[in-house]
Amino acid sequence: MLTNQNIILAISGGIAAYKCAELTRRLKEHGANVRVVMTHAAKAFITPLTMQAVSANPVCDDLLDPAAEAAMGHIELAKWADLILVAPATADVIARINAGIANDLLTTVILASAAPLALSPAMNQQMYRAQATQDNIANLTKRGVKIWGPAQGEQACGDVGPGRMLEPMALVELAKQHFAAADALGKGVLDGITLTITAGPTREALDPVRFISNHSSGKMGYAIAAAAVDAGATVNLISGKVTIQPPQKALVTAVDSALEMHAAALSLAPKSDIFIACAAVADYRPIDVADQKIKKSADTMTITMTKNPDIVADVAALTEDRPYTVGFAAETQNVEKYAKGKMQRKKLDMICANDVSKGGQGFNADTNALSVFWQGGSEILPLTDKKQLGKALIALIMSQFKRV
């Protein structure tokens, strides 16, 4: 997927810059053309001569280089790129990119380029967790910038936590997925396909003002729906209450409860080619729903609940007009074991599992990672922003759907 793709590797000043020689070698090994841009701080960690040797191209490191800028070198670079990958992306460079600052060659090339931009954060765990950094990352994600990582673990300073730059091969895989999704999900690729997806939480009423729900934001389901819409599919989006805007052209059915979502799903699934159950559906609902607001009286309260119908299992059990059925499993342990068990038990064609015990993925996060399983195969979709992950997942689903 990387053959003849033009990738700018933009290296900023972090200790993880030492990984960039291996990263460049691996990108080229997979067929990419790589040109390296370095900040002055990056040269304190790895030399331009090293990067020139592994990339087989001169390294660009100075916005005010008279020889390069005689031909407007930063504009030429910006137009050459099919992808700009900033690795490591320090807190400083993330902040400058977010602010639109162009005070060195790296940030100027980014601002001057229409190419997709991916950042691989690398910094101390507290710097990564700082609200300013999180705000910058969230803002960039909203603009469509891909955030690849970070990983968790021991850091050079001795701290343990999120902030490690992803390993070179993980970044290579994400680059491959980026170009694969772009190829597989071009405009019109899903023309004639009808896809129904559930997204967001359900609300199970206790009384007119209270309900039982969960932390689902709907971001993952909406990202998958957006990817399918962009590729030309007719998309039915069955959504619980969320605070985000649905993709344009998606046909939205708004629901509150699991029973409402179940009815909508069983109505639309037989008219669909693919059904994706991404919603976080309540397993149980209260048996008795009060007509009036329940007043606070006793020190304790007992609520008797009954099981809700299993939406994805009922869709998978359809005997006529059954769609290709994809489930989701949010797990906190033994992810593969529980996901495969759910897939077999409910007779699904595919299941997408994520470990919601890990930081930066799952409910409310802008990033996610999925372990995807189907009969006879599996694939890991590494941590990235949900928009990019949605595209990669739709491409993967289509690769299997076409074989059925």
Active site residues: 157
Q: Which residue has the tokens 């932390």?
A: 215
The continuous run of DSSP H or E covering 382 comes out as strand 377-385
Name residues whose C-beta falls within 8 Å of residue 33's C-beta, 6 or more positions apart in sequence: 4, 5, 6, 7
Spatial separation of the C-alpha atoms in residues 154 and 148, rounded to whole Å = 18
DSSP type of residue 237: E
Residues forming beta bridges with residue 86, ordered by sequence position: 10, 119
Phi, psi for 49 (deg, rounded to 5): -65, -40
Could you tell me the end-to-end alpha-carbon distance of the chain, in angstroms, rounded to an integer?
Answer: 24
CA atoms within 13 A on the CB side of 217: 14
Q: Give me the amino acid identity at 292.
A: Q
Helix (H) or strand (E) run with residue 25 in it: helix 20-29
Instruction: Say whether the peptide bond before residue 168 is cis (omega within 30 degrees of 0).
Output: no
Q: CA quadruple 99, 101, 104, 105: dihedral positive or negative? A: positive
Token pair recorded at residue 404: 């059925």
Note whether 379 and 402 are within 8 A (CB): no
**Are the C-beta atoms of residues 380 and 361 closer than 8 Å to each other?**
no
Other Cβ atoms less than 10 A from the Cβ of 80: the count is 15
